[in-house]
């Protein structure tokens, strides 16, 4: 079927960042096309670490279980070093995630697995989106008449992109250098998908695909264009956006192998240089020092004798001395020499074209940040574009993408520079080691991401009942139990990525008549005919734009659901009946091994159970506003600045 020449959104680049954006749009009914110059998805290697925050995002899209079926769960950072007698000893072990705020664990899986999971989700969506492979953008024009300041004409398609449909020779494949070591020491080339399991009922785009229009050009008219096309971004160059920073002074070798060793400790050596992977794979990151020239090293990637592979393994073998380290199968290897640079802007002045991920920030592979931050860039923006296109949000909200994400990209580059200096000293100094651990944990569980006050994040207005809820952060996760079902869940389970906003009412001890009366009074105010629940347009057909969730401290058995206002158990418009999945009691579980318990919700957030508090949660699960029950007028003012009345 012919693709439309006019679309709401054109995504250029089908890596994790582009696929995350497409996933938003497939769920919110946004007419989208996504193109990629390569003829297949990533077949091997590249990014491999998925942070706890990234797994939360996958869960919110309903895709997390597919990752858990194929990925390798990561629990600890472990540093090993010499013991002074020619052997290795464990210097320290720390939990890799920070369960103070996240109850999700990070996973290891190569980027191609993640892309396959997204592709499967796009295929199964109510509004399916298919990646168009072997399609290259060659020209882009922006007509400023479709935009005057922020007075966006939502009927206009001011961005015109000319694309060329490529042949197999023009598009090329992802390089992998996969091979098996034979008993005689020689090597045999292998397909890089040799050991990959079938993911999501299919490998998904592992064989070359074309559109059937090879050699032809096409013109696409779009309301918005998203540049998710990597460190050498074509979109960024068209916009004339600078990359500020400098080149790294180090070259890193990376290799994915099935390895064998004389030491059982290899399975526990979870440092920055060795990472256990899915299907028994092991990834090694090794620094290539001055004995390997940059120009010669990159030329060696195409060397059939695989001298570069041998050099990388030789350095890795030195780290495990006196134990042996050998491999039978290599899935992928490459070199990284990446500058630490940040984009001077994240989009064009008309707010019609934006860039994401590596197109905005580049760094070395230390800390495993790139793929995660890239996905979180587009996750921040997808719901905003959908809200503007559907007339729910004011166009001014589009400016908050750069306001919120550019400081995070700059912080990422600073983190990379700090790790370069700190990791070497960490093995010798426990104080430095703990600083490195703490910083990495904050990025892993999302605590390092704090958005400044702006249109989508309210100004702090004092230390009221919600003083422990930090605005501009991802909502802290806690255990909860269903009031009617007794299901044990996590707060994040209540926040699927479907475009809805949530008002979480921390009800405190609602077994107390006075406190329950205050909670019900709030419910009457927000659910009144002209109340907040009914005030704005929804992106989800058949459901209000705002879902009210009540989390209380009382024992489930001590509360009768009939004593709660209908705001907390509304009638379901589509099927009828009453929703009882919006009332929950906080739950406290004992500390898990190697982690810090987040504690009960009210206590850890500093909320008095005799007073309560409430927080407005954006569709990306960040806290936009927080306050007491009496601060409802301030919440309404916050919403009035964001939404189209």
Residue 336's beta-bridge partner residues? Answer: 252
Mean pLDDT, residues 86-107: 71
Rounded to an integer, what distance in angstroms lies between the CA atom of residue 156 and that of residue 352?
Answer: 11
173-192: b or e for each residue (b if 16 or more CB lie within 10 Å)?
Answer: ebebbbbebeeeeebeebeb
| The two three-digit tokens of residue 20, written as one number | 């995350």
Higher pLDDT, 437 or 593: 437
Mean pLDDT of 518-544: 94
Please tell me which of 93-107, 144-158, 486-500 the model is most confident about, judged by mean pLDDT.
Answer: 486-500
Residue 399 DSSP one-character state: G
What Å distances lie between residue 423 and 81, 419, 434, 483, CA to CA?
A: 13, 5, 11, 47
Say whether pLDDT at 266 is over 70: no
492 burial class (0-12, 13-18, 19+ CB within 10 angstroms)? buried
Q: Are 225 and 140 in contact (CB under 8 A)?
A: yes
More confident residue, 267 or 142: 142
The C-alpha atoms of residue 505 and residue 522 are separated, in whole angstroms, by 9
What pLDDT sits at residue 263? 43
Task: Compute the average pLDDT of residues 345-363.
Answer: 94
631 — pLDDT class (breaks 50, 70, 90): very high
- Residue 268: pLDDT above 50? no
Q: Would you say residue 324 has pLDDT above 90?
A: no
| More reliable by pLDDT, 470 or 269 | 470
Question: Comparing C-alpha atoms, which of 21, 73, 88, 74 is closest to residue 375?
Answer: 21
Query: Nearest Cα to 88, choosing from 259, 265, 315, 262?
Result: 265
Give residue 382's Cα distance to chain centre: 12
More confident residue, 246 or 216: 216
**Looking at residue 303, what is its pLDDT?**
67
Rg (CA), the chain: 26
Per-residue pLDDT for 169 more than 90?
no
Q: How far apart are CA 519 and CA 508, in angstroms?
A: 9
Residue 244's contacts (CB-CB under 8 Å, 6 or more residues apart) are 341, 342, 343, 344
Examine residue 322 and say whether the peptide bond preceding it is cis (omega within 30 degrees of 0).
Answer: yes
Residue 10: phi and psi, rounded to 5, are -110, 125
Instruction: Report pLDDT for 264.
Output: 37
Look at residue 460 in the predicted model and tell me its pLDDT.
Answer: 82
Give CA separation, 624 vs 236, 469, 471, in Å.
Answer: 30, 10, 6
Tell which residue, 456, 315, 346, has the closest CA to residue 394: 456
Mean pLDDT of 129-142: 96
CB count within 10 Å of CB 299 equals 11
- Position 150 scores a pLDDT of 52
- 225: pLDDT strictly greater than 70: yes
What pLDDT is stored for residue 270 in this prediction? 33
What value does the mean pLDDT take over residues 524-531?
Answer: 96
Residue carrying the six token digits 């582009």: 18
Cα separation, 447 vs 458, in Å, equals: 18
Quick one: pLDDT band at residue 272, thresholds 50, 70, 90?
A: very low
Burial of 583 (0-12, 13-18, 19+ CB in 10 A): buried
475 to 102, 155, 493, 534, 616: CA distances (angstroms): 9, 35, 12, 24, 10
d(CA 587, CA 479): 5
Going across the sheet that includes 361-362, the strands are: 243-246, 340-343, 361-362
The string of DSSP letters for 452-517 reads PSSSSSPPP--S-TTTTS-TTSBPPP-EEEETTT--EEEGGGG--SSS-EEEEEEEE-TTSHHHHH
Intra-chain end-to-end CA distance of the chain, in Å? 38
What pLDDT digit, counting tens, does each position of 568-614 carry? 999 876 655 667 789 999 998 765 554 455 678 999 899 999 999 99
Give the range among 71-75, 341-345, 392-396, 476-480 with minimum mean pLDDT: 71-75
| DSSP code of residue 46 | S
Residue, of 542 and 139, whose pLDDT is higher: 139
Count of residues in the chain: 645
Cα-based angle 378, 381, 383 (whole degrees, multiple of 5): 115
CA angle, 203 as apex, 334 and 11 as ends, to 5°?
Answer: 75
User: Would you kindly state where each structural domain of the chain is located, as residue ranges?
Assistant: 6-73+102-174+194-244+340-413, 479-642
Which 8-state DSSP code applies to residue 166? Answer: P
CB atoms within 10 A of CB 167: 12
Mapped onto helix, strand or coil, the DSSP state of residue 527 is: coil
The whole-number average pLDDT for the span 343-366 is: 91
**Residues 298-326: what's their mean pLDDT?**
75
Arithmetic mean of pLDDT, 516-525? 98
What whole-number percentage of the chain has pLDDT above 70? 84
The lowest-confidence range among 208-217, 305-314, 561-570, 571-580 is 571-580
- Do the domains spanning 6-73+102-174+194-244+340-413 and 479-642 agree at the CATH topology level? no
pLDDT 10s digits, 1-47: 567 799 999 999 999 999 999 999 999 999 999 999 998 888 877 87
**Higher per-residue pLDDT: 641 or 596:** 641
User: Contact at 8 Å (CB) between 97 and 448?
Assistant: no
Please give the average per-residue pLDDT across 303-308, as a whole number.
Answer: 75
Alpha-carbon gap, residue 266 to 257, rounded angstroms: 13
CB atoms near residue 210 (< 10 Å): 17
Q: Which two three-digit tokens encode residue 124? A: 């199964």
Planar angle of CA 371, 49, 428, nearest 5 degrees? 115
Q: What is the mean pLDDT of the chain?
A: 85
Round to whole Å and give the CA distance between 463 and 461.
Answer: 7
Q: How many CB atoms lie within 10 A of CB 371?
A: 24
Torsion of CA 429, 431, 434, 436, to 10 degrees: -70
Please tell me which of 98-102, 131-135, 171-175, 286-290 the model is most confident about, judged by mean pLDDT.
Answer: 131-135
Q: With bands split at pLDDT 50, 70 and 90, how would you rate the model's confidence at 245?
A: confident
Where would I find the beta strands (DSSP E) of 126-228? 131-133, 135-142, 147-148, 151-152, 159-165, 179-181, 187-189, 217-227
Q: Cα–Cα distance between 640 and 515 in angstroms, integer?
A: 29
CATH number for 6-73+102-174+194-244+340-413: choose from 3.40.50.1100, 3.50.50.60, 3.30.1330.40, 3.30.360.10.
3.50.50.60
CA atoms of 289 and 311, how far apart (whole Å)? 11
Do 504 and 512 meet the contact criterion of CB atoms below 8 Å apart?
Answer: no
**Each residue's pLDDT tens digit, 449-502:** 999 999 999 998 766 888 889 999 999 889 999 998 889 999 999 999 999 999
State which CATH number among 3.60.110.10, 3.30.360.10, 3.40.30.20, 3.40.605.10 fits the domain covering 479-642.
3.40.30.20
């Amino acid at each position: 079927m012919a693709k439309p020449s006019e679309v709401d959104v054109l995504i250029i680049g089908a890596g994790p960042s582009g696929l995350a954006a497409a996933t938003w749009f497939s769920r919110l009914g946004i007419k989208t096309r996504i193109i990629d110059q390569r003829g297949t998805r990533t077949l091997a290697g590249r990014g491999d670490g998925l942070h706890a925050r990234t797994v939360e995002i996958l869960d919110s899209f309903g895709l997390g279980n597919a990752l858990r079926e194929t990925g390798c769960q990561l629990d600890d950072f472990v540093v090993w070093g010499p013991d002074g007698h020619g052997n290795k000893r464990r210097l320290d072990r720390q939990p890799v995630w920070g369960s103070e705020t996240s109850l999700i664990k990070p996973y290891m899986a190569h980027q191609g697995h993640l892309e396959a999971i997204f592709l499967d989700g796009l295929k199964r969506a109510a509004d399916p989106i298919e990646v168009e492979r072997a399609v290259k953008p060659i020209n882009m024009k922006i007509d400023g008449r479709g935009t005057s300041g922020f007075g966006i004409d939502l009927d206009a398609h001011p961005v015109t992109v000319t694309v060329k449909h490529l042949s197999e020779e023009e598009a090329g494949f992802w390089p992998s250098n996969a091979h098996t070591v034979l008993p005689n020491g020689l090597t045999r080339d292998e397909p890089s998908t040799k050991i990959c399991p079938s993911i999501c009922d299919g490998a998904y785009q592992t064989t070359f695909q074309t559109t059937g229009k090879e050699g032809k050009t096409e013109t696409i008219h779009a309301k918005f264009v998203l540049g998710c096309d990597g460190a050498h971004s074509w979109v960024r160059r068209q916009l004339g956006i600078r990359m500020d920073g400098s080149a790294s002074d180090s070259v890193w070798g990376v290799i994915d192998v099935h390895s064998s060793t004389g030491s059982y400790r290899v399975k526990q050596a979870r440092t920055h240089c060795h990472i256990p992977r899915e299907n028994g794979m092991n990834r090694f990151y090794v620094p290539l020092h001055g004995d390997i020239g940059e120009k010669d090293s990159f030329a060696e990637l195409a060397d059939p004798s695989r001298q570069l592979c041998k050099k990388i393994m030789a350095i890795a073998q030195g780290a495990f001395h006196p134990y042996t380290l050998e491999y039978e199968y290599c899935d992928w290897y490459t070199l990284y020499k990446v500058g630490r640079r940040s984009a001077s802007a994240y989009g064009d002045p008309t707010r019609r074209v934006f860039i994401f991920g590596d197109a905005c920030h580049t760094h070395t592979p230390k800390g495993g940040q790139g793929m995660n931050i890239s996905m979180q860039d587009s996750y921040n923006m997808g719901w905003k574009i959908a809200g503007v296109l559907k007339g729910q949000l004011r166009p001014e909200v589009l400016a908050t993408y750069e306001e919120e994400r550019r400081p995070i990209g700059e912080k990422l580059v600073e983190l990379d520079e700090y790790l370069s200096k700190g990791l070497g000293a960490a093995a010798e100094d426990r104080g430095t080691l703990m600083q490195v651990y703490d910083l990495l944990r904050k990025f892993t569980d999302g605590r390092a991401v704090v958005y400044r006050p702006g249109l989508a994040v309210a100004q702090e207005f004092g230390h009221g009942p919600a003083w422990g809820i930090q605005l501009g952060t991802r909502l802290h996760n806690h255990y909860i139990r269903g009031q009617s079902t007794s299901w044990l869940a996590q707060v994040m389970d209540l926040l699927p990525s479907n475009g809805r906003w949530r008002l979480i009412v921390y009800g405190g001890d609602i077994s107390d008549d006075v406190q329950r009366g205050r909670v019900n009074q709030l419910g009457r105010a927000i659910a009144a005919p002209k109340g907040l629940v009914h005030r704005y347009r929804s992106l989800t057909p058949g459901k209000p734009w705002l879902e009210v969730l009540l989390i209380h401290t009382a024992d489930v058995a001590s509360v009768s659901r009939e004593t709660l206002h209908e705001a907390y158990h509304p009638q379901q418009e589509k099927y009828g009946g009453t929703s009882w999945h919006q009332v929950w009691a906080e739950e406290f579980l004992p500390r898990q091994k190697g982690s810090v318990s987040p504690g009960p919700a009210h206590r850890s957030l500093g909320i008095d159970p005799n007073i309560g508090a409430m927080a407005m949660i954006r569709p990306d699960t960040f806290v936009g506003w927080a306050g007491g029950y009496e601060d409802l007028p301030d919440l309404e003012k916050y919403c009035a600045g964001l939404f189209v009345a």
